[in-house]
Amino acid sequence: DRIAHGGFGQPMSSNVPTETEDALRDLDGPANAAAPAPVLLQQVRRKIRLFLAIGLAIGLALVLTGVLLILDGQSVRDALESSVNGALGSRANIGTTINRAVPFALAGLGFVVATRAGLFNIGASGQLLFGGLCATAVGLTLHLPKPLLLGVMVVAGAIGGGVWGLVPGLLKARFNVHEVVATIMMNWIAYWVVYYSVPAYLKGQFLETESRKLPEVASLKVAWLTELFDGSYINLGLLV
């Protein structure tokens, strides 16, 4: 047993409960002394409810889509086949699907982080747009070795997205402006900033709303991955 010092420096065995220990045990109560099995069961039930909610949301989305297609006189079967073939019908389609899914996955992770902090961040799309604009501007203007340039682009994109998310955060902290309202407004501001900036400063050769093509030194595209997915736009960004 541990030895604690009693009055006048005399040792006292720790198996003699003190008043503080009795009070702490009373605060804990008998329920907290039980095995953690009920807590584990609650966690399992919570996970099951979460997966059921996700499945229900997907099912309802498919049902409502089918109803709208029927009302419009379209074939539900043809629409489903086109959706599946467009996403998974070939190696190129699979590569393109993965390539487009990665930014959405990162935006979803950003939403989860904010939710963990007790905030409802609806501004992920605006932060993604502005961060992408910053990274693209760096890739089209700086002339650096590829590893260094890619690193600078990543940092520029992260800073741009962070700055765009900082504005609603400051409004929330300083003026108690609700983050849902602020982030939604910032989404539209980011959209129009990109819509103006690309034709004005980064315009490509063919479309008004398309930037110039990134040079090879500023791209994560690699030949072996392009060949593996039959010429799709997939790149090393999927490793993120």
pLDDT tens digits for 37-85? 688 888 888 899 989 999 999 999 999 999 999 999 999 999 999 999 9
Q: Are 157 and 135 spatial neighbours (Cβ–Cβ below 8 Å)?
A: yes
**If we measure between CA atoms, which residue out of 128, 130, 150 comes closest to residue 138?**
150
pLDDT at 1 over 80: no
pLDDT at 17 over 50: no
> How many whole angstroms separate alpha carbon 233 and alpha carbon 102?
12
For tokens 């961040």, name the residue: 121
Residue 115's Cβ-count burial label (10 Å; 0-12, 13-18, 19+) is exposed
Q: How many CB atoms neighbour CB 208 within 10 A?
A: 9
pLDDT at 127 over 50: yes
Q: What phi and psi values does residue 5 have, to the nearest 5 degrees?
A: -90, 130
Q: Are 164 and 124 spatial neighbours (Cβ–Cβ below 8 Å)?
A: no
The larger pLDDT score, comparing residue 158 to residue 7, is at: 158
pLDDT at 31 over 70: no
Residues found in the chain: 240
Which percentage of the chain shows pLDDT scores above 90?
A: 67
Helices of type H across the chain: 19-32, 37-71, 76-88, 91-116, 124-141, 146-175, 179-201, 223-228
Q: Which amino acid is at 155?
A: V
pLDDT given for residue 10 in this prediction = 45
pLDDT at 159 over 60: yes
Average pLDDT, the chain: 86
pLDDT at 22 over 80: no
> How many whole angstroms separate alpha carbon 99 and alpha carbon 199?
24
Question: Could you tell me the pLDDT band of residue 233, with boundaries at 50, 70 and 90?
Answer: confident
> How many whole angstroms separate alpha carbon 76 and alpha carbon 98?
25
> How many whole angstroms separate alpha carbon 118 and alpha carbon 120?
7
DSSP code, position 36: S
pLDDT at 2 over 50: no
